[in-house]
Each structure stands twice: as structure tokens, then as C-alpha cells.
Amino acid sequence: MSAGVSVSSMSTYAILGCGSVGHAVAEELADEGKDVLILDKDESRVESLRDQDLNAQTTDISEPELAEVVADRDVVLILSSDVEANKAAVSTMRDRGDDKFIVVRASDPVSEDELTQLGADVVINPSEVIADSALRSVESGELEYKARQLADILRETDHGLAILTHDNPDPDSLASAIALQAIAREYDIEADILYSGDMGHQENRAFVNILGIELTPRSDAKPLEEYGAVALVDHMKSGMPDLGEAEITVFIDHFEPDEGIDARFTDIRPNVSSTSTILTKYIQEFDLSPSKAVATALLYGIRAETLDFKRDTTPADLTAAAYLYPFADHDTLEKVESPSMSPETLDVLAEAIQNRDVQGSHLVSNAGFIRDRDALTQAAQHLLNLEGITTTAVFGIADDTIYLAARSKDIRMNIGKILSDAFTGIGEAGGHSTQGSVEIPLGIFTGIETNDDNRDTLLQLTEEAVKRKLFQAMGVESGESGNGS
């Protein structure tokens, strides 16, 4: 195709082979006022097309004379069901040196490759197009059905809704919670967002403070059984919570749980990269215009979970982000993404850099005694940026507990499973393919109570035990210590 010519500016078309597919395309183009020439070797079909006031003529598209017939056409759509004739038509035009935009029909993946090699610009396999269309219809219908189910539950709910984020909630979990809260309010339901753990990460604190998100620690909330319904959103990162006497009413996540979930309503979609994407689809399905705060939160949740669309991003994530973009407050997003680093986080990062032990592409580091355990998460993420490093794990000691945070960009590794395998029976591990965390009672490794006199001894015993287990679980032996320099 000649430089400077785009499909939208082309005005003359040829359709080669006018069965059901070709006829549908011809009618659509003719309705748009396009100059369309139809070629088919079936004389009776050509006569029928002429009776419909379509420009058609009898031509065998597999013959060399074809090139002259379509010489004045800009776009050639070869839509015959005879793939061998289609190949001949492509070859005829490309051998002549015609610089046309050629769209051609294939029958299977093999013929797709062959037609591409012959010089077709676009190759279409009708069975794949039909399958894609069917899947989109199924997905759309399923979402509509799910939305009706969720709406029915919300209509029946009295005494409020408890929405549980995962422990130490991140932007995806928080954004999903406030989106579900916004949907619940459309049904006049007061929803409390509850969390366990800490809000230590400075970006997460900025996220909550700037957007004015109201959160309640589980310890300060009324018992879950006193709520009319309980929803878990994006919870699998920290495993199943202790619900007491309460039951799960709503469960929404983009990670598959290890065991079946007993809930009235479940929507689990491992084919998307964030729970924020799922909740955005519900916002659309309920025909709600998201508030600036909700749109900003959801957009940030998607961006955070996909590392700004650089990790495991799906088309659904991108379309959800595109929908949210005009509703979001981008000045607020910038403030959330660029908060100041706390002195504690800086100290932990410095300690982790200094104490790093690198085996191959795996890095494990001891950050020592810490006050802010969420700083470990940030250190693990920062260290993942070091050249040649694909997996990081940073651990520290606080309150007689060993806390560990891990991150991985190695597609062959599920870091959450590795941590679970390494520390089963001695600590609580959770996570997924790219991130994970562990909490281990200090006495498991040492049997010694912490005091000022034995801090260094505890640190050394802990470091040896944790590193050995981690490197073994990652498939490398911890040998001569190296700092990756």
C-alpha cells in the first residue's frame, strides 16, 4: 500500500467471491456509499447481484486475468470459501507488484500462515471470528446475569453490608471495596469497609487520605454476624479470614481460591489482572456514573496491580481503564503515586540493600529489627529493579515475629506457592504468582525470648534459617554469600 494512504481514505473496493460472507460485506459497503465491484465465477449469482443494483461481473478469481480487472481498486477483499482460489488471487496481485490493501479469508491456522506469507495484509478466519463473537456475547450475558444476582442480594439485605478487604490492603483491594460500597448505596444500603493488619505503605496511606476513604479496623467494628451481608473483595492475597459465626454472602476476586467458596454470590475471574477491573464492569453494567473518587480509586487499582500496564495486562484491564480515565482525577493520581518515603522505609531499604544475598537471579535480604513491617514490601519491590534480579524476599523482626515480603517477575515461578511450601507448619504464608508474604513466630526458629542482650544472636539465627529455607524452595542452594555487585 502506498505511503500516505489509509484505509479510511480509500474509496474503491473489490469483493472477490460473493457467498454469504461476501454478500453481507458488499451490502454494508454499498449502504455506506462505497464504490464496490463484486467478482464471482457463478453466473447465476452475478445476475442475482445485478438485480439488487450491485456492480457485479463474472470472473474466475483464480485466473491471472484477475489482476487487470481489479487494477483500479484500492482495497481487495477476497472472501471466497475456496481457499486455493484465494491463494491464487493473492499471488496474482502480489506477483504483478500491485500495492493494494488485501483482506483475505482463510479456513484454518495453516491457510492463515500461507496467505500471510503470500502477501495478504489482513487474514480472516470466519470460524475464529464467530467464536470470538460468541465468547463476547457469552461474557456480556454472564455479566448481565451476575449483575441481576448481585442486585437481588442487595435488595434483600437488611442491617448493612460488611465489605472485607484483604489484610494490609493494597490499592486493588481498597478500590474494589469502595466500588462495591458505591453500588450498595444505590440500593440504600450502608456498607462498612473493614480491614485487618496495617496501612503501612506510604502510597496506600496517601491513597486512603487523599481520596477520603473511610475504613474501619476489624477490631473496632461490630461482629460480622450483626451485618445483613458480608462481602469479600480481592481477599485471596491473604487467604480466608476468620469470620466467626458469619457466612460469606458475596465473594469477588481475580485469584482462584485453593478451596471452593461457599457464598450466595461468587465472581472469580483469573483471566483479568485486577479485582478493580471486575468491579469496573459492574459499575458499567449497573449503568452508574462513577464518582471522581471511585473512578480514581479503580483506575489506580488497575494500574497498581498491572505495574502501570507492564505486568500481566489483559484487554479487559485496558478497556476498564479507558472507561475510567475521563472520570478520574489525574492530579490526585499523581499525588498518590508520588508520596514522600518515610524515614523508616528508607532505613529498611538501606538495610536490605546492604545485607542482600544473591544466588543467580534470586535475592534474599535481612532488614533486621523493624518498626514498620510494610516497609519490607516496598523494599522487596525496589530491589526487584536491580539488574539481573527476578525474585526478591526481604524479612525483618518485629514484636517477636518474623515478617517476610516477596516479589517476583519470573513467569516460571509462583512465589506465593513457594512461600507456602517453604513455611507450611511454621508460619502463615499467603500470596500468588508475583507476590507473597509470611509471618513466623520468632520462637519457632530460636526458642529464645527477645531482649536487648540477645538481639544480634536472634538476628543471626533467623537469617541463617530463613535464607536456607527460601533458597532451597526457590531451587538454589545458599552457598557463598554474594551481594550482587
Q: Of 401, 344, 354, 337, which Cα lies nearest the Cα of 374?
A: 344
Percentage of the chain exceeding pLDDT 70: 91
C-alpha–C-alpha distance, residues 107 and 44, integer Å:
25
Distance (Å, whole) CA 316 – CA 409: 21
From 369, 378, 440, select the one nearest 398 (Cα to Cα): 369
Alpha-carbon torsion 248, 253, 258, 260, what sign?
Answer: positive
Model confidence pLDDT, tens digit, residues 57-72 = 999 999 988 988 998 8
b/e code 30-41 from CB counts within 10 Å (16+ = b) = beeeeebbbbbb
Give dist(CA 346, CA 378) in Å, integer: 9
Nearest in space to 232 (alpha carbons), one of 176, 295, 153: 176
Question: How much is the average pLDDT of 92-107?
Answer: 88
- Which pLDDT score, from 0 to 100, does residue 291 have? 92
Check whether 406 has a pLDDT greater than 80: yes
Of 103-112, 115-124, 199-208, 314-323, give the lowest mean pLDDT range: 199-208
- CA pair distance 102, 286, nearest whole angstrom: 42
Angstrom distance (rounded) from CA 114 to CA 117: 5
Q: What is the pLDDT of residue 187?
A: 94
Query: Do strands 357-359 and 362-369 pair parallel, antiparallel, or not at all (unpaired)?
Result: antiparallel
Relative to beta strand 122-124, strand 56-58 is: unpaired
- What pLDDT shows up at residue 202? 62
| φ/ψ of residue 105, rounded to 5 | -90, 135
The helix/strand/coil state of 245 is coil
What the chain holds in terms of domains, given with CATH numbers, is 13-124 (3.40.50.720), 138-337 (3.90.1640.10), 343-474 (3.10.310.30)
- For the cut 60, the answer to whether the pLDDT of residue 2 exceeds it is no
Cell of 310: 507492564
pLDDT of residue 480: 45
Report which residue type is found at 130: I
Distance from C-alpha of 47 to C-alpha of 345, rounded to nearest angstrom: 79
Q: Concatenated DSSP letters for 336-386?
A: HHSPPPPHHHHHHHHHHHHT-EEETTEEEEEEEE-S-THHHHHHHHHHTTS
Whole-number average pLDDT of the chain: 85
- β-strand 101-105 against 191-195: which pairing, if any? unpaired
The sign of the CA dihedral 109, 40, 59, 69 is: negative
**Residue 16, φ and ψ in degrees, nearest 5:** -105, 115
The DSSP bridge partners found for residue 252 are: 233, 267
| Dihedral angle of Cα 443, 447, 449, 455, to the nearest 10 degrees | -90
Q: Cβ distance 398 to 407 under 8 Å?
A: no
Statement: residue 298 has pLDDT above 80: yes
CA distance 101 to 415: 47
Nearest to 312 by CA among 272, 361, 279: 272
pLDDT average, residue stretch 290-301:
92
CB within 8 Å of 368: residues ≥ 6 apart: 351, 355, 396, 397, 459
pLDDT tens per residue, range 218-233: 888 899 999 999 999 9
The pLDDT of residue 137: 72
**Length in residues, the chain:** 485
Of all residues in the chain, the percent with pLDDT exceeding 90 is 38
Residue 484 or residue 315, greater confidence: 315
For residue range 183-218, what is the model confidence (pLDDT) as tens digits?
Answer: 999 999 999 999 887 765 666 777 777 777 888 888
Compare 88 and 312 and report the one with higher pLDDT.
88
pLDDT at 339: 55
Residue 308: pLDDT band (50, 70, 90) is confident
Cα–Cα dist 448/451, whole Å: 9
Q: Which of 349, 377, 362, 351 is nearest to 459 (CA)?
A: 351
Res. 179 pLDDT band, cuts 50 70 90: very high
Please report which confidence band the pLDDT of residue 483 belongs to, taking 50, 70 and 90 as the band edges. low
DSSP strands (E only) in 63-156? 75-78, 101-105, 122-124
Phi, psi of 218, deg, nearest 5: -55, -35
> Which residue carries 470466519 as its cell?
126
Among the residue ranges 17-31, 294-308, 422-436, the one predicted with the least confidence is 422-436
